[in-house]
């Protein structure tokens, strides 16, 4: 308090806050009590931030025992022409069309339920909230906000069709065999 | 007979051991009664005196007390269920089936736990409606309403985390849907889902996390909030009982 009185009126009107902040910044005129209180608060803030970071790191697993995104779908001759074959385990549809093979994600884009192929309707249907998709993955009914994703498909050297569930295609690609 | 029991009980209340635990002793004066409440860790949350009208059925329908009762039932049955349930993918479902068909009284405890959980959600909701329509949320009780909202959230989270534990199809897909709802949070939705499930899919990590949340973290949060909730009833001037209308 005493040092603010020493300041000129000009300084006071211009930057009372800045002057107060400046006075405290280096803690040059702190009492011992203020100094230790600041040290304590600062340490608590650092400890709190450290605990937050520690918890976040601790609760994020570094190693996951989840299935590989790349799956072996089968040999091309296993799939009948113009068919939709679901693999529930890996959550994909392998579609054999006139243009070639492609793969769709079977996880509904609404809330993540596993969809099912309904041959009698020629549609992919989700049991949870009634979304329906055609065999190109385009939504035809229901709450799904996006079409089913197209995954990257390629023919491996051993003659198997491979699907990478982590690579989403932006443009439709077909694998001719 | 009744008088014999009463005299024996009074004699017990004056023994040195009893007096060392309950200091107020056996007196029936207002001071004694007030001290009996005030000097007890659990009872001191409550007022030593209340209006007799606050004990009527009409102002509260006893919904808060009933909610607390279901919570006690859930804690008791939940602890018993924990003795047979392993929160692991190969065992969870069969443990749940064992509780139904193999363990003595297992089906009774499991059903009691399940029905009490449903009842608790209903009662919490009914309690909030009652408080709302009576206007009992108004100052000075506004902060206790906020505590109540958090208690509703804890109740719903307890229901949700408990739902996964049977590890059947219903549980699996309900939690798949629920965790995808968490994903809809802007910016950090994906991270939240990852932390909640301990991975990218509903699997062993998710089961264990939900188990710990359900059995330890959320019940502790509920107990702490219930303690504050009851203490605030006293601090905010007792249960809200409207003045009798002059006719």
User: How many CA within 13 A on the CB side of residue A174?
Assistant: 10
Cβ of A128 and B173 within 8 Å? yes
Average pLDDT on B182-207 reads: 92
Calpha distance B133→B125 (Å, rounded): 12
A and B: number of Cβ contacts within 8 A: 32
Cβ of B204 and A65 within 8 Å? yes
Specify the pLDDT at position A14: 43
Cβ of A66 and B199 within 8 Å? yes
Residue A101 distance to chain B (closest CA, Å): 27
Specify the pLDDT at position A18: 46
Cβ of A61 and B198 within 8 Å? yes
Minimal Cα distance from B204: which residue of A?
Answer: A65
Residue B189 touches partner A, C-beta closer than 8 Å: no
Specify the pLDDT at position A24: 58
Cβ of B177 and A61 within 8 Å? no
* DSSP letters for B152-183: HHHHHHHHHHHHHTT-SHHHHHHHHHHHHHHH
Specify the pLDDT at position A1: 43
What sign for the dihedral angle of Cα B54, B56, B58, B63? positive
Q: Higher-confidence residue: B69 or B24?
A: B69
Q: Is the pLDDT of residue B91 over 60?
A: yes
Residue A144 distance to chain B (closest CA, Å): 13
Average pLDDT on B115-136 reads: 96
Specify the pLDDT at position A25: 66
Q: Is the pLDDT of residue B184 over 70?
A: yes
Specify the pLDDT at position B95: 97
Q: Map tokens 């602890």 to a residue.
A: B79
Specify the pLDDT at position A8: 47
Residue B176 touches partner A, C-beta closer than 8 Å: yes
**Among A146-160, B45-59, B157-171, the least confident range:** B45-59
Cβ of B181 and A66 within 8 Å? no
Q: Which of A103, A104, A108 is nearest to A141 (CA)?
A: A108
DSSP A114: B
Judging contacts by C-beta atoms under 8 Å, the chain A residues touching residue B177 are 111-113, 128
β-pair partners for A141: A132
Residue A58 touches partner B, C-beta closer than 8 Å: no
- Confidence band of B228 (pLDDT split at 50, 70, 90): very high
Residue B233 distance to chain A (closest CA, Å): 32
For B225, residues 6+ apart whose C-beta sits below 8 A from its C-beta are: B147, B150, B151, B154
Q: Between residues 100 and 139 of chain A, which touch chain B (CB distance below 8 Å)?
A: 110-114, 128
Residue A52 distance to chain B (closest CA, Å): 13
CB A126 within 8 A of CB A144: yes
CB B134 within 8 A of CB B120: no
Write the residue in B177, B203, B205 that is nearest to A111 by C-beta.
B177
Calpha distance B234→B6 (Å, rounded): 31
User: How many CA within 13 A on the CB side of residue A135?
Assistant: 18
Write the residue in B179, B180, B205 that is nearest to A61 by C-beta.
B205
Tens of pLDDT along chain A (177 residues) come to 444 444 444 444 444 444 444 555 677 888 999 999 999 999 999 999 999 999 999 999 999 988 899 999 999 999 999 999 999 999 999 999 999 999 999 999 999 999 999 999 999 999 999 999 999 999 999 999 999 999 999 999 999 999 999 999 999 999 988
């Amino acid at each position: 308090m005493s040092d603010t009185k020493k300041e000129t009126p000009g300084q006071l009107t211009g930057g009372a806050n800045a002057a107060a902040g400046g006075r405290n910044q280096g803690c040059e005129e702190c009492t011992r009590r203020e100094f230790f209180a600041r040290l304590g608060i600062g340490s608590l803030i650092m400890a709190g931030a450290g605990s937050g970071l520690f918890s976040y790191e601790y609760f994020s697993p570094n190693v996951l025992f989840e299935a590989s995104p790349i799956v072996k779908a089968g040999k091309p001759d296993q799939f009948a022409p113009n068919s939709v074959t679901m693999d529930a385990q890996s959550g994909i549809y392998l579609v054999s069309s006139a243009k070639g093979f492609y793969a769709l994600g079977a996880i509904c884009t609404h809330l993540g339920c596993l969809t099912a192929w309904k041959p009698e309707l020629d549609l992919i249907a989700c049991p949870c909230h009634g979304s329906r998709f055609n065999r190109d993955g385009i939504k035809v009914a229901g709450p799904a906000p996006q079409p089913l994703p197209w995954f990257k498909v390629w023919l491996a050297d051993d003659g198997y069709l491979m699907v990478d569930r982590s690579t989403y295609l932006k443009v439709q690609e077909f694998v001719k065999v | 007979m009744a008088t014999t029991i009463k005299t024996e009980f009074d004699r017990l209340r004056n023994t040195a051991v009893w007096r060392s635990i309950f200091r107020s002793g056996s007196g029936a004066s207002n001071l004694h009664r007030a001290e009996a409440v005030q000097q007890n860790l659990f009872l001191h949350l409550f007022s030593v005196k209340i209006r007799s009208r606050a004990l009527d059925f009409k102002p509260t329908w006893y919904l808060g007390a009933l909610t607390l009762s279901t919570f006690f039932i859930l804690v008791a049955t939940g602890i018993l269920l924990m003795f047979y349930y392993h929160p692991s993918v190969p065992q969870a479902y069969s443990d749940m089936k064992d509780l139904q068909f193999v363990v003595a009284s297992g089906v009774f405890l499991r059903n009691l736990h399940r029905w009490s959980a449903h009842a608790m959600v209903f009662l919490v909701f009914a309690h909030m409606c009652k408080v709302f329509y009576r206007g009992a949320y108004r100052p000075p009780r506004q902060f206790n309403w906020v505590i109540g909202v958090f208690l509703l959230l804890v109740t719903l989270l307890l229901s949700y985390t408990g739902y996964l534990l049977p590890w059947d199809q219903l549980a699996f897909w309900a939690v798949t849907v629920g965790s995808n709802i968490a994903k809809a949070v802007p910016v950090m939705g994906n991270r939240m889902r990852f932390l909640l499930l301990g991975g990218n899919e509903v699997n062993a990590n998710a089961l264990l996390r939900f188990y710990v949340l359900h059995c330890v973290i959320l019940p502790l949060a509920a107990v702490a909030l219930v303690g504050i909730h009851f203490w605030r009833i006293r601090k905010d001037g007792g249960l809200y009982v409207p003045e009798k209308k002059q006719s």
